[in-house]
Structure 1
Amino acid sequence: MQNHFELFHLPQQYAVDLKALDQAYREVQNQVHPDKFARSPDAEKRVAMQWATRANEAYQTLRSPMRRATYLCELNGVDLETESNTAMAPAFLMQQMEWREALDDARAAKDVNALAALDAELADTRRAQLDDIGGALDAQQYDKAALGVRQLMFLEKFGDEVAAAFDRMTD
């Protein structure tokens, strides 16, 4: 069975040409779209539906930088162990504590500007984290990339908390 990159005839690497991915996805969907098999036997309809579902999943995985990085780690034998491995660098843990305090302070003070500043800082950190993950994957340092993805997962989740606090304040 071919992997997601092979399905779309793309090189197996972190950097993905999104236009090429979009075009390849449309081509695959065009070939397997269930509507093309409306008059076909049930078995052919099922196979077409399975391929369409697989193409959708592959597309969503490769389109998302975090999911793509996770997938590349897994393809190269590194399980992210997201449920059991919560080890993080001490500096990252300290940064988490500082961000949590900043979020608590902004909530308590109902300070929209402080939340906006925290959100901007998180966005910059996420971009830098994605760059680091890409560099690790390009260098075939999959364990390092996996740690980066676990940290990115925290950043994404914390970013959601900041956005929720922002929404509550601006409602």
Structure 2
Amino acid sequence: MSQNFFTLLKLPEAFVIDLERLDQNYQDIQKEIHPDRFASFDDETKLESIKKTAQVNDAYQTLKSPIRRAEYMLQLHGVNIHDEKYTAVPQDFLMQQMEWREELETHKQNKLALEKLATEIQKNKNDMMNQLPAFFDQKNHLNDAIKITRELNFIEKIEQHIHDALIEIV
């Protein structure tokens, strides 16, 4: 049942994917397997449709997000970035993260300052994302892909904190 997400959604196994094709393949598959199509079938068939729909939804959400896609691709290579052996992050990134968090706390009520911080972080995130395709294309660079993916997880969390702070202001 646990089919490769790329295979399931009829995409080549690569970090850079065609998002329009992903959406189209997802919609086509959902039309075929949606539980409503199996309403008059026996319970086992209905349950199988529900399970398949859940798996396709999970595959779609995973591949749609570049960070989740990177994590998934690392899993395909036997790497779970949440394993404690991968928890170390470089000192300079830790310092940068601490600075961002300090700035967030200092300017929690200042919309312009938070938006500026969000823009700075987004630029860093984009720079890191642009490195990932090469790291996945060259299998001997998986350690770099692990490092960047872990750092992107941290960035995603601080982005969420900034987003939450901006909502509180409005």
- Whether the TM-score (by the shorter chain) exceeds 0.5 is yes
| Cα distance in 1, alignment partners of residues 50 and 110 from structure 2 | 50
CA shift at 1:45, angstroms?
A: 0.9
Q: Which amino acid aligns with 2:32?
A: Q
Gaps of 5+ in 1: none
Q: 1:114 corresponds to which residue?
A: 113
Q: 1:131 corresponds to which residue?
A: 130
| Cα distance in 2, alignment partners of residues 146 and 41 from structure 1 | 45
CA shift at 1:42, angstroms?
A: 1.1
Q: Which amino acid aligns with 2:133?
A: G
CA shift at 1:16, angstroms?
A: 0.8
| Cα distance in 2, alignment partners of residues 47 and 105 from structure 1 | 52
Within-5 A mapping of 1:47-66:
47-66=48-67
Q: 1:26 to 1:167 in 2, by over 3 A?
A: closer
Q: 1:77 to 1:161 in 2, by over 3 A?
A: same
Q: 1:82 to 1:129 in 2, by over 3 A?
A: farther
| Cα distance in 1, alignment partners of residues 138 and 80 from structure 2 | 18
CA shift at 1:55, angstroms?
A: 0.7
Structure 2 SS opposite 1:45: helix
Q: 1:163 corresponds to which residue?
A: 163
* Count of residue pairs the alignment pairs up: 168
Within-5 A mapping of 1:45-84:
45-81=46-82
CA shift at 1:83, angstroms?
A: 5.6
Gaps of 5+ in 2: none
Moved more, 150-159 or 134-143: 134-143
CA shift at 1:143, angstroms?
A: 2.3
Q: 1:84 to 1:167 in 2, by over 3 A?
A: farther
- TM-align CA RMSD: 1.6
CA shift at 1:82, angstroms?
A: 5.2
Q: Which runs of 4+ in 1 moved over 6 A?
A: none
The answer to whether the aligner puts 1:86 opposite 2:92 as a matched pair is no
CA shift at 1:34, angstroms?
A: 0.6
The answer to whether the aligner puts 1:12 opposite 2:13 as a matched pair is yes
Q: 1:151 corresponds to which residue?
A: 151
| Cα distance in 2, alignment partners of residues 111 and 2 from structure 1 | 47
| Cα distance in 1, alignment partners of residues 21 and 77 from structure 2 | 23
CA shift at 1:40, angstroms?
A: 0.7
CA shift at 1:84, angstroms?
A: 6.1
Instruction: State TM-score, norm by structure 1.
Output: 0.90
Instruction: State TM-score, norm by structure 2.
Output: 0.91
CA contact (8 A) 1:82 1:150 kept: no
Moved more, 45-54 or 141-150: 141-150
